[in-house]
């Protein structure tokens, strides 16, 4: 994932922005790894997070929901908040609304 897609805003809280560029399975695996902790290629251990904020726009909304549901069904975390909005997005000279979702998942 690109650096701008995943950010740790405060210790133990991670933001994951979902796009349509990668598959749903990729994001589900990534979301689960945030709650289990992983070891990267260099051998550095990444500790599990306490809160994962998963967000997406437009066609990626289904992937956001699937990722959050997979975490909850595996018993790794619980969905604590679902927020939807319709922010204005600029496309050239025109501005129009685009659906957005944010799901907050807390570690069990």
pLDDT tens-place string over residues 67-105: 999 999 999 999 999 999 999 999 889 999 999 999 999
What is the CATH number for 63? 3.30.110.20
Q: SS3 for the chain, per residue?
A: CCHHHEEEEECCEEEEEECCCCCHHHHHHHHHHHHHCEECCCCCEECCCCEEEEEEEHHHHHHHHHHHHHHHHCCCEEEEEEEEECCEEEECCEEEECCEEEEEEEEC
Domain of 13, in residue numbers: 3-107
pLDDT given for residue 41 in this prediction: 82
**From CA 86, how far away is CA 65, in angstroms rounded?**
17
Q: Give residue-wise pLDDT tens across range 28-76.
A: 999 999 999 888 788 888 889 999 999 999 999 999 999 999 999 999 9
Q: For residue 49, give the nearest of 15, 91, 88 by alpha carbon.
A: 15
Residue 52's CB is within 10 A of a number of other CB atoms, namely 27
Structure-model confidence comparison of residues 10 and 15, the more confident one: 15
Number of domains within the chain: 1
77 forms bridges with which residues in the sheet? 107
């Amino acid at each position: 994932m690109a650096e701008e897609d995943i950010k740790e805003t405060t210790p133990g809280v991670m933001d994951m922005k979902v796009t349509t560029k990668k598959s749903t399975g990729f994001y589900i695996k990534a979301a689960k790894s945030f709650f289990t902790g992983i070891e990267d290629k260099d051998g550095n251990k990444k500790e599990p997070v306490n809160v994962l904020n998963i967000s997406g726009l437009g066609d990626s909304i289904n992937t956001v929901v699937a990722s959050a549901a997979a975490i909850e069904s595996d018993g790794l975390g619980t969905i604590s908040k679902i927020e939807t909005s319709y922010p204005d997005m600029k496309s050239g000279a025109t501005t129009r609304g685009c659906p957005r979702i944010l799901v907050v998942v807390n570690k069990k």
